[in-house]
Chains A and B, each alone.
Chain A
Amino acid sequence: MKKYINLGSKDTRSGFGAGLSELGESNPNVVALCADLTGSLKMNAFADAHPDRFFQVGIAEANMMGIAAGLTIGGKIPFTGTFANFSTGRVYDQIRQSIAYSGKNVKICASHSGLTLGEDGATHQILEDIGLMKMLPGMTVINTCDFNQTKAATIAIAEYDGPVYLRFGRPKVANFTPEDQKFEIGKALKLQEGTDVTIAATGHLVWKALEAAEELAAAGIQAEVLNYHTIKPLDEEALLESVAKTGALVSAEEHQMAGGLGESLAGVLARKHPCPQEFVAVQDSFGESGTPEQLLLKYGLSTDAIVKAAKAAIARK
């Protein structure tokens, strides 16, 4: 099986910051807005290099979304930055009306998503954002897995004309995707070939899925691993091609089961290729304070949880 090497752990939010800085140089229409979290979002470099194209809006996320929508009128490409909780749930109506329904070319960039923001606890650990955003007509939803992919995605979404939700996180995680890999919106990546079970993972759980595949291989189970960095539009073809071989699916994500990647995939299976599916996701609960690893373990999002889910899915074939 293919061997993946951690090139050195980094936070995905820094990938966003690096991508934004590059865009600052390459695309004069890119502008950025932040609601008092410039350091947390790693937007400092862009703000320092392009003060005229950086808008500090203060702690006023609703206003930020509206200003971003307005900035597109005249051709700017606004990137908003705040925590995932304040990028979605807090401003859902603003996004729905002024951005999604109005078809505005705004890039909603959200850090500190999921449980792995850690000690701040459940008020800040949004686990519903993918669901909220994928329900909006015309919204593209992306959840990247490491530094390199987040940087590549940040650059790619500037080229795409339409509203995008880009979700990333706080902790340092394995950086393993190739630095030069071009990001293709809506195209799932096959990371491991396998015949017994498909593991479709997104975000931080992609690395865990690779770890799980190694453990499964040691037990004689060949898992195919798909990196679903784009939840919407969903790559149906990649899923169907994989489950046609494996006949069983595990979805893995740092999100509620309700509204997540797993449900999107289940919808495809139900319509086109019914087969067993297990869901590695948060089961209708809020998070709590703790370290990222403790939380992933407690809420059933660990490597071990993916291994168990894979075995359960295979057993139900």
Chain B
Amino acid sequence: MTEIKDLQRICSQTRRDIVRMVHAVQSGHPGGSLGCVEYFVALYHHMMEHNAENFDPDGKNEDLFFLSNGHISPVYYSVLSRAGYFPLEELSSFRKLNTRLQGHPTTHEGLPGIRIASGSLGQGMSVAIGAALTKKLGQDSHLVYSLHGDGELQEGQIWEAAMYASAKKVDNLIATVDANGQQIDGATDDVLPMGSIEAKFKAFGWETLNIEKGNDLTSVIEGLEQAKALTGKGKPVAVILKTDMGAGVDFMAGTHKWHGIPPNDEQLELALGQLEETLGDY
């Protein structure tokens, strides 16, 4: 296992990548991306068995990950690239014409690491279930992970999928909800209060697990390890990951305002001043 210290260095660099990417093209979604850095780094650098060097779209005998809330593509691209899926310098093409790093992730341009397009919300859990079923049919014991926004849970398809996964015992699936309590128009509790997310998944027949400190790497790793231990027991596993939107950059943290707004030059410098360059900028 890579030392926590090393993973923390990746986290810091990933945050730099995120703010630099959205700044460079003056568009994109820094808030949710920053909040999910620890989750992504834990997943790709610790939890998952995966083959970055020889990307196989079918992903047989690998763990798979599906990003359902595709707008947090900056963190996804940074982590994929630094895990070895594609050259680091390609991060500078984010959202630009002819790029493989589209605003929302897609298979269309053949970017290694991506297995489904996402952006229109609510679809990723169904896709993850399908991939998990294929693993079961092929006697492949690897796991399928998916990530969803908490605001995304307002989409009805999520609950169709949640009902199916427990009814059909899709127990090789760990669906994580980024519970940052924010969505575009404000706090989720103001836009459309959802009550207890955990109670909802429990009521749908899922095994649930909370990670209270979603921006603490050790907590995230421990939580995901526990989630993994819950798989294979007849129930899908939901992880409620409590994060701070914009985590790591003080003026972006804890508010919906940086959901889809890039920093200007001055704000970029302020942000980078708070984030150590550990592995070298792209």
Contacts and interface: CB of A to CB of B under 8 A. Distances in A.
Interface of A: 31, 52-53, 55, 57-58, 60, 62-76, 78, 93-94, 96-98, 101-104
A65 B124 CA distance: 11
B163 A60 contact: yes
A69 B120 CA distance: 15
B164 A63 contact: yes
B160 A70 contact: no
B119 A97 contact: yes
Given A102-B106, A102-B108, A103-B107, A71 B117 contact: no
A67 B156 CA distance: 15
B133 A94 contact: no
B157 A74 contact: no
20 contacts: A52-B137, A55-B168, A63-B161, A65-B126, A67-B126, A67-B133, A67-B164, A68-B130, A70-B134, A71-B133, A74-B59, A75-B58, A76-B134, A93-B123, A94-B157, A97-B119, A98-B117, A101-B107, A102-B116, A104-B116
A73 B129 contact: no
Interface in B142-201: 156-157, 160-161, 163-164, 167-168
B116 A74 contact: no
Given A98-B126, A103-B108, A73 B64 contact: yes
Contact of B57 (A53, A55, A67, A73): A73
Contacts of B127: 66-67, 69-70, 73, 98
A209 to B, nearest CB: 38
A273 to B, nearest CB: 34
B118 interface: yes
Given A55-B133, A76-B134, A102-B108, A69 B160 contact: no
A94 to B, nearest CB: 6
B167 to A, nearest CB: 8
Nearest to A71: B130
B242 interface: no
B9 interface: no
Contacts of B59: 73-74
Interface residue tally of chain B, by bracket? 35 or more
B103 to A, nearest CB: 13
B163 A73 contact: no
Given A31-B137, A101-B106, A70 B163 contact: no
B123 A66 contact: yes
A70 B157 contact: no
Looking at A60, A63, A76, A98, the one whose CB has the most chain B CB atoms below 10 A away is: A63
Which 9 pairs from chain A and chain B are nearest by CB? Answer: A70-B130, A66-B126, A74-B134, A63-B160, A60-B160, A67-B130, A70-B127, A71-B130, A70-B131
Interface of B: 57-60, 64, 66, 106-108, 115-120, 122-135, 137-138, 140, 156-157, 160-161, 163-164, 167-168
Contacts of A52: 137
A62 B108 contact: no
B161 A66 contact: yes
A58 B164 contact: yes
Contacts of B116: 69-70, 73, 98, 102, 104
Tell me the dominant secondary structure on chain A's binding face. helix
B160 A97 contact: no
A70 B118 CA distance: 12
Contacts of A68: 130
Looking at A31, A57, A64, A97, the one whose CB has the most chain B CB atoms below 10 A away is: A97
A104 B157 CA distance: 19
Contacts of A72: 130, 134
Contacts of A93: 120, 123
Given A60-B163, A60-B164, A103-B107, A73 B123 contact: no
A60 B160 CA distance: 6
Contacts of A66: 123-127, 129-130, 157, 161
Nearest to A28: B137
Given A64-B126, A66-B124, A101-B108, 8 more contacts: A53-B137, A67-B127, A67-B129, A70-B132, A73-B116, A74-B59, A93-B123, A101-B117
A243 B83 CA distance: 58
Contacts of A69: 116, 126-127, 130
A31 B138 CA distance: 12
B134 A102 contact: no
B108 A75 contact: no
Contacts of A97: 117-120, 123
Contacts of B128: 70
Contacts of B124: 66
B133 A70 contact: yes
B146 to A, nearest CB: 10
B138 A74 contact: yes
Given A63-B161, A103-B108, A73 B131 contact: yes
Given A62-B156, A66-B130, A67-B127, A74 B120 contact: no
A62 B126 contact: yes
A280 B107 CA distance: 40
Contacts of A58: 163-164, 167
A304 B117 CA distance: 47
A73 B137 contact: no
